[in-house]
Amino acid sequence: MRPYAYVRANDVDGAVATLAEAPNAAFLAGGTNIVDLMKLGVVQPDLLVDVRRLTSERVEDLDDGGLRVGAAVPNSDLAADRKIRTRYPALSQALLAGASGQLRNLATTGGNLLQRTRCVYFYDTTTPCNKREPGSGCSAIEGHNKNHAILGASEHCVATHPSDMAVAMAALDAFVNVQGPEGERRIPIEELHRLPGDEPERDTILEHGELITSVDLPPLEFLSNSKYRKARERASYAFALVSVAAALDVEDGVVRDARIALGGIAHRPWRATKAEEALRGEPASEENFRAAADIELEDAEPLRDNAFKVPLARNLITRTLLDLSEER
Amino acid sequence: MDADITLRVDGTERHLTVDTRTTLLDALRERLGITSPKKGCDHGQCGACTVLLDGRRANSCLALAVAYDGSEIVTAEGLAENGELHLMQRAFIEHDGYQCGYCTPGQIVSAVGMLEEVRAAWPSHVTEDLNVEEISLDDDEIRERMSGNLCRCAAYANIVPAIREVSER
C-alpha cells in the first residue's frame, strides 16, 4: 500500500476544507470498501480524512414526519432501528440482505452509498478498466460479464452499483444531504449516482470535497408497505445478481401509487419509473405487474453472459408487487 | 506516516506507534503478539480476523488501527475469565466445532457478538417478522447470522449446534 497521511478533523467544516485542498485525498468512514481498495492498489490516496465520528450516528424525526439518518449510522443500527423497520421495511430488509454481521457493524450509511463497483476488472489492476484508469478500455464488455449491467451502460463501462441499501433508498424517494466547499445541498437520491457515459470514473455527481452528512426519508405512508427482494448465487453474504425494492399503494384492488427500484442491473440504483407510470390507476394484478416490468425492461441490452437478468428482474418485480398487494 | 495510538486489548492498555497503513489485525498480530485473530483472506470476506471492537464484532483486517485509537478490543484470547474458558469456547470443544481450527477464534468471537445482537432483538435476513420483540434463534437464524465466518473444513454441522447450545443457556 502506498504511504499516506491520516487526519481526524474536528468537525464537518474542517473535514471538507482539508479534503478540498488536497486533490488526491479521500474521506474514510467505516473503511470496509476503501481499505480493501487501497490494499489492492485500486485507489491510492495520499491523505485520508477520517469522518467516522463527525457526522450524526442517530436516526431522528423530521418536522415533516419523515426521518433523518446520520451519515455515520452503522448499517447494522439502521437495519435494526424500530422506526425504519415499521415505516420503511424495504430499507431494513435491504441492509440485512447485504454483507455480513461484522461488516454491517463497521459500514456506515454515507460510506455504503459511496462504495465502488465490485466489477472484477475494476479490482484487478493488471487489466484495463476505464473506471480505474480512464481511457485504458473496458475488459468486461468482451470478458466475463455475468454480473454486469443490462440497462444504462455505455461503450466505456458496464459495471453495476453494488449497494443493496441504495436501491431501497431509491425506491423510498430519499434525499441525500451534502456539505461541500461551496456550502450545503440536497440531492434526490436518484440523481446522486450517475450512468457511466464517457466518464465511468465518476460514480456520483458529488464534487471533490463534498461530504454526505445525512439521508432524509420522506413521510409517505404507503412506504410502510414496501419490500426488498434479492437474488444471489448463495443464500447469504453475496452481492445481488438482481434485486428489487418496491412500495405499493393499493386501494380497492387498484394501484394508486408505486415505487420500484432495481439493483444489480445498472451503474446506479435503477428507478423503474416507466413501470411505476404503467401501474398507476391499473388493477393490482399479476398480469399488470408483469406487463409493467416488461415495459421497464424493454430497453435492456444484455451482454454475452447476463441475459438471465432480464427474466430474473421481471420475475422479481412481479413477485414483489404481488406480495405487496396481498399483504395490504 | 507514523501515529501514536492506545488500544485496550483483552483488558490491558497498550501504547504503540503504528504506520497509518497498519490494520487493526496487523497491529494485534505483528505488533502486540496477539495471534488469536487470524489472517485468512485479509479482505473482509472470511471472518477469521473477527474481534469485538468497542463491544461489537468487526473484521479487524478492514479497520485501520489509527482510526480506532482509544478503542476497546476483545479477541478470542480475552474471552476467558479467571482462567475459565468462555461458554462459547467450551461449547466449541464439546461439539467438536472445528477441524483445522484456523477459523475458530473468529467463529467464537463472532458467535459471542452475534448473541448480543440477538439479545438486542436485531432481526436478520431470515427473520420472518421484522418487528419481532424476541428472536427465536433456530438453525436458519444461526447460519444466516454467522455467514460472515467461513470454515474451509466445513465444520458447520458442529459449529451450529455449539452456538445453539450457548444461546439456549
Question: Which residue range forms the structural domain that includes residue B72?
Answer: 2-78
Same domain, B97 and B160: yes
Of B43, B78, B113, the residue at which a domain comes to its end is B78
Same domain, B64 and B120: no
Q: Would you give the distance in Å from CA A7 to the centre of its chain? A: 28
Rounded CA-CA distance A258/B26 in Å is 49
Element (H, E) at A184: strand A183-188
Of B60, B78, B96, the residue at which a domain comes to its end is B78
B81 touching chain A per CB within 8 A: no
Q: Is A1 exposed, middle or buried (0-12, 13-18, 19+ CB in 10 A)?
A: middle
Parts of chain B with a pLDDT under 70: none
Rounded CA-CA distance A313/B132 in Å is 30
**A276 phi and psi, to 5 degrees?**
-60, -45
Q: For A39-55, write each residue's pLDDT tens digit.
A: 999 999 999 999 998 99
pLDDT of amino acid B26: 98
pLDDT of amino acid A327: 59
Contact assignment for B62 to A52 by CB distance below 8 Å:
no
pLDDT of residue A328 exceeding 60, the answer is no
Percent of chain A with pLDDT over 70: 99
Contacts across the A-B interface (CB distance below 8 Å): 111
Going from N- to C-terminal start, the domains of chain A cover 5-49, 225-327
A97 touching chain B per CB within 8 A: yes
pLDDT of amino acid B29: 98
Same domain, B137 and B155: yes
Q: What CATH number does residue B38 fall under?
A: 3.10.20.30
Q: For A102-129, write each residue's pLDDT tens digit.
A: 999 999 999 999 999 999 999 999 999 9
Joined together, the cell numbers standing for residue A266 give 445498472
Percent of chain A with pLDDT over 90: 98
Please identify, in words, the CATH class of the domain defined by A225-327.
alpha beta
Contact assignment for B131 to A36 by CB distance below 8 Å:
no
A35 touching chain B per CB within 8 A: yes
DSSP state of B81: B
The ipTM estimated for the assembled molecules is: 0.98
B5 touching chain A per CB within 8 A: no
pLDDT of residue A268 exceeding 80, the answer is yes
Count the domains in chain B.
2
Of B61, B78, B95, the residue at which a domain comes to its end is B78
Q: What CATH number does residue B117 fall under?
A: 1.10.150.120
Angle between helices A309-327 and A286-297 (to 10 degrees): 140
Q: For A133-160, write each residue's pLDDT tens digit.
A: 999 999 999 999 999 999 999 999 999 9
Indicate the pTM of the whole model: 0.98
Nearest-Cα distance to chain A for B121, in Å, is 8
- Which three-class secondary structure state does DSSP give residue B133? coil
* Nearest residue of B to residue A92, measured between CA atoms: B130
Rounded CA-CA distance A294/A298 in Å is 6
